Amino acid sequence: AAPEYIGNAASSKCRFYCSELQDWQPSKKYTVVWIQWVLCYLTDADIVICLRRCGESLVPGGVVILKENCCQDETFCVDVDDASVTRSLPYWQDLIYQAGLRIVRQTWQEDFPEDIFPVPMLALRPRQR
């Protein structure tokens, strides 16, 4: 549905993959890998593997952008209705570290209703670069 949402002209600049995220194998090097509101459906182990693959797929100077809801009062919250897990920022930081990445920039999504989870936007790069 992305081409319909963002328009054909803009979507032609993107590559779309239809695959389970935990099974995605990068086939080339990327400048940007954008992950938004999908990792909440993966296990911690699958998140670490996925993030590690994303980091390994970057060209020098490339970045992984991660946007996910965060809970603030608990380590994590499970939503049994949609089988998702909302993790705290420290929890995400630990998973990112386990994946061999580091946070190079962090900001928060603004103008969201107060009754939903806050959304950090994290720019990640491999630790060894």
Q: Tell me: the pLDDT tens digits for 20-72?
A: 888 888 888 999 999 999 999 999 999 999 999 999 999 999 999 999 999 98
Distance of alpha carbon 41 from alpha carbon 119, whole angstroms:
16
What are 2-17's pLDDT values in tens digits? 667 767 666 666 766 6
pLDDT value of residue 86:
94
Looking at the predicted structure, is the pLDDT value of residue 129 above 60?
no
pLDDT given for residue 19 in this prediction: 75
Q: Give exposure, 21-51, as e/b (b: 16+ Cβ within 10 Å).
A: beeeeeeeebeebebeeebbebeeeebbbbb
Q: Please give the Cα distance from 60 to 100 (Å, whole number).
A: 15
* Helix H or strand E segment including 42: none
Strand partners, 124: 64, 103
Q: Quick one: pLDDT at residue 92?
A: 97
Residue 126 has pLDDT above 90, yes or no: yes
- The pLDDT score that the predictor gives to residue 88 is 96
pLDDT on residue 28: 86
Give alpha helix (H) positions in 17-124: 44-56, 89-98
pLDDT digits (tens, 9 = 90+) for 63-104: 999 999 999 888 999 999 998 999 999 999 999 999 999 999
